[in-house]
Amino acid sequence: MRTVHFSASFVRRPCRPLPTSAAFVPTRTLARGMKTHFAPSLLTGVGPVGPLGCWGRAGPPACAMAPFRGSPAAAASVAASAAASAMDSPALISAVKELFEEALAAVVPAGIPTQLAMVAPTDQKNAQLGDYQCNNAMALFGMCKKLGADNPFKSPRAVAEAILAALPENELIKKTDIAGPGFINVTLNDSLLATTAARIVTDGVAWLAPTSRKGKKVIIDYSSPNVAKEMHVGHLRSTIIGESLARTYTFCGASVLALNHVGDWGTQFGMLIEHLNDQKAAGKATDDESVSDLTAFYKQAKARFDEEDEFKDRARKRVTTLQGGDKESLRMWQEICDVSRKEFSKVYDRLDVNRLEERGESFYNPFLPETVKELLSIGVAIESDGAVCVFPEGKGPDDENVAPLIVRKSDGGFGYATTDLASIRHRIDVEKGDELVYVTDVGQSLHFQGFFDAAKRAKWWDPEKTRVEHVGFGLVLGEDGKRFRTRSGDTVKLASLLDEAVSRCHDNISQRNEEAYGGKMSKDEVSEAARIMGYGACKYADLKNNRTSNYVFSYDRMLELKGNTAVYLLYAHARVAQILVKAGVADEAGMKVALESADGNIPLNMDKILEDGKAVVHITAPQERALALHIARLPEMLDDTLDGLNPHRICEYLYELANFYSSFYTECRVVGSDQQKSRLLLCESTARVMRKCLDLLGIEALYRL
Ligand SMILES: NC(=[NH2+])NCCC[C@H](N)C(=O)O
């Protein structure tokens, strides 16, 4: 076995010179005007800044550091600099893979294709084995055997040995060993983990954002309720999942266009306008209750449409005049949309969703005739029974059991599919999206597959150039395992659902406030905490599941104090915050500041955590190492989240983080220990990562509970 030392592949990469001195002032902290004794001291002195930023995968790293060549303790010290914020922080796993790919390139014999590194994190239950495992040796040996006499290897183990011998010198890996037939276990350098944890405090958690989405334009279509219809739990799921993805993409450097593809166009507007007209004639305005409850209004209009021939006739004519651009019809359509819009925005305000841009189906109306015409002219669509249809590749009207995509109905009207074809084209050609994401229930999968496929055949979408994904999600079920409904069988109103969660939290927190804190929290504080916890619990209960599975909506479960719930995590964060207060690193006033600030960071009394003006984390116990490793794996988790479009990965990570922290806190004395500064730094680092993860899930943090 060979121990690989510092001086990595990246040493060969161009680096900007190391600054000779660096001063760091946490700007937000100062801007908030703290008491002088809390003013952070300047961090001066430079040390070898952690190598994390230099692991660079593709593209030149923005690098301002030299490779570490000093003692491990020195390596763990941090000198933050202005340049540091521009640092790239690729995922650990990618850096490990890159090293193994270099090694593989050197050992793969002629006649065998280039090998991608098969590297996976080691299950932390087996932490003694290492942090990552590279599993290429066995498969590569299998390929080499086919070379017969030209196979240079005797066994998979020999392949593993060759890979290790070819591993470039680097700063990342402390130790490697071969297990079993040829698994390579990899242990990372402690100093690197320590440095990463410390830098989160000096440079902010954004420093650790992965760079895989930098400069990418991502268009996320989510929420997308329908005008004059109830915004139901499905739309709530879409809103919560889409918002979390939007936040995560943004954090990872993408420019996000969040689109609310509201169902604001279609034949139903004929009857809605006519009904509105009649209501007005009867002296009722849009702010009248009978109209503002649009669901009821819709039902009335529908009933009349089904029962009154004269009304039906007018409604049909109205659709034509509306689609023909008649001013008066458009004005009334607008009026109806406005009523819905007001209702939707109430939900968005509650959920803290404010980046969504409304671009409803109506936006694409002018492009629809052209869309169909082109599909016909290139032969992707054909006329069938008076309608224009896109059949699956190789299928036609004579094939049985095929459901074509209808792009123009036999009455000449356009539908959902046509709008989506126009929208995908617009998002690629005009908006220049690199990734297009659509968040709806899995029930719409066929629709998405259908128009994605048509867009590809029409050459409007090149999958090599643009990533297009339907992010489907499962149903919300009631505790009886059936579709979530009220006892009377109606769909559950979103507002009342959130209200109930908040009210239950209010009861719990008030009780705790009296019992455990002697009423220390004011009435307002209790209400605010209940709001954060109630909304947080609903969001988290939704996000923590693998999105494609159905989940059971249960207040009891989502409000449990233990286990993978928002309540547990909010408590976990509050406990860390309170330790920092107890140690004098932060104070109550600082927490108030944190609550109002954009990044939620508590102003810190830096003297309490810096050693000789430097932020230094010492790793002396396995629990400290496990915690620091988990923190350093944030970029890897985020890449994973976006690759699979799975926000539940963030929940998993956050829950594990809370657990690693809890083992650390149980085993390692913080306040009053020799390691107090280092450990407090680790606490603050943990708190920041916790807050960032909560924020990516759309959940606010609590500092005291
Ligand atoms: N581009 C899209 N199709 N977005 C999703 C729209 C969702 C649709 N309005 C619904 O309520 O089901």
Share of the chain above pLDDT 90, in %: 70
| Cα–ligand 1 centroid distance for 263 (angstroms) | 7
Distance CA 297, CA 270 (A): 13
Q: Which residues of 389-403 are buried (b: 16+ CB within 10 A; e: fewer)?
A: bbbbeeeeeeeeeee
Mean pLDDT over 581-590 rounds to: 89
User: Ligand 1: which of 230, 421, 444 to mutate, judged by most atoms within 8 Å of the beta carbon?
Assistant: 444
| Cα–ligand 1 centroid distance for 261 (angstroms) | 6
- Is the pLDDT at 127 greater than 90, yes or no? no
Confidence band of 304 (pLDDT split at 50, 70, 90) = very high
Q: Is the ipTM of this complex over 0.95?
A: yes
- Is the pLDDT at 26 greater than 80, yes or no? no
| Cα–ligand 1 centroid distance for 471 (angstroms) | 12
Task: Evaluate whether 220 touches 261 at the Cβ level (below 8 Å).
Answer: no
Token digits for 540?
Answer: 């988290």
Output the residue whose Cα is nearest ligand 1's atom 5.
Answer: 224
List, chain by chain if needed, residues with CB within 6 Å of any ligand 1 atom.
221, 224-226, 261, 263, 420, 423, 438, 440
Please give the pLDDT value at position 124: 80
Share of the chain above pLDDT 70, in %: 86
| Cα–ligand 1 centroid distance for 437 (angstroms) | 12
Only one residue has tokens 């593993």, namely 160
Confidence band of 89 (pLDDT split at 50, 70, 90) = low
| Cα–ligand 1 centroid distance for 103 (angstroms) | 48
Of all atoms in ligand 1, which is nearest to the CA of residue 229?
A: 11
Confidence band of 599 (pLDDT split at 50, 70, 90) = confident
Of all atoms in ligand 1, which is nearest to the CA of residue 441?
A: 12
Please give the pLDDT value at position 266: 86
Distance CA 539, CA 551 (A): 13
Token digits for 657?
Answer: 């983080």
Q: Hey, which bits of 542-585 come out as E strands?
A: 551-552
Of all atoms in ligand 1, which is nearest to the CA of residue 262?
A: 9
| Cα 595 versus chain centre, distance | 22
Of the candidates 653, 688, 585, 581, the one whose C-alpha atom is nearest the C-alpha of residue 204 is: 688
* pLDDT tens figures, 201-213: 999 999 999 988 9
- Is the pLDDT at 74 greater than 90, yes or no? no
- Is the pLDDT at 491 greater than 90, yes or no? no
Confidence band of 62 (pLDDT split at 50, 70, 90) = very low
| Cα–ligand 1 centroid distance for 145 (angstroms) | 53
Only one residue has tokens 């070379």, namely 147
Please give the pLDDT value at position 520: 84
- Is the pLDDT at 430 greater than 50, yes or no? yes
Domains of the chain listed by start with CATH number: 221-264+360-473 (3.40.50.620), 268-354 (no CATH), 495-696 (1.10.730.10)
Distance CA 228, CA 291 (A): 10
User: Ligand 1: which of 233, 261, 358 to mutate, judged by most atoms within 8 Å of the beta carbon?
Assistant: 261
Output the residue whose Cα is nearest ligand 1's atom 2.
Answer: 261
- Is the pLDDT at 152 greater than 80, yes or no? yes
| Cα–ligand 1 centroid distance for 224 (angstroms) | 5
Token digits for 205?
Answer: 């958690």
User: Ligand 1: which of 221, 224, 424 to mutate, judged by most atoms within 8 Å of the beta carbon?
Assistant: 224
Confidence band of 677 (pLDDT split at 50, 70, 90) = very high
Task: Evaluate whether 641 touches 647 at the Cβ level (below 8 Å).
Answer: yes
**Identity at 180, one-letter amino acid code:** G
| Cα–ligand 1 centroid distance for 347 (angstroms) | 17
| Cα–ligand 1 centroid distance for 441 (angstroms) | 9
Stronger pLDDT, 269 or 31, i.e. the higher one? 269
Mean pLDDT over 269-292 rounds to: 85
Of the candidates 114, 113, 120, 162, the one whose C-alpha atom is nearest the C-alpha of residue 137 is: 162
Distance CA 423, CA 436 (A): 11
- The angle formed by the CA atoms of residues 292, 293 and 294, to the nearest 5 degrees, is 90
Output the residue whose Cα is nearest ligand 1's atom 10.
Answer: 225
- Is the pLDDT at 427 greater than 60, yes or no? yes
| Cα–ligand 1 centroid distance for 416 (angstroms) | 8
Of all atoms in ligand 1, which is nearest to the CA of residue 235?
A: 11
Mean pLDDT over 622-641 rounds to: 96
Token digits for 159?
Answer: 């392949």
Distance CA 450, CA 228 (A): 27
Of all atoms in ligand 1, which is nearest to the CA of residue 361?
A: 1
DSSP one-letter string for 38-77: GSPPP--------GGGG---SS------PPP-S-HHHHTE
Output the residue whose Cα is nearest ligand 1's atom 11.
Answer: 225
